Chain A
Amino acid sequence: MLKFIKPYMEDIEGIATYPMISLVIFFVFFVALFWWVATATKDHVKEMSHLPFEDNQQNYKEQ
Chain B
Amino acid sequence: MVLALALMGAAVAMVAFYVPEDADQGLSQKIFYFHVPIALTAYACFGWGALKALLYLWRRDPRYDLESYVAIHLGVIFGAMTLVTGMIWAKISWGVWWAWSSNQLVLFLVLFLFYSAYFMLRFSVEDGPMRANLSAVYALFGVVLIPIGFLAIRLANDFIHPTVFTSQGPQMAGSMFATFVVCWAAMLALAAAFYGIELAGKRLDARLRELRELLAP
A and B held together in a complex: no
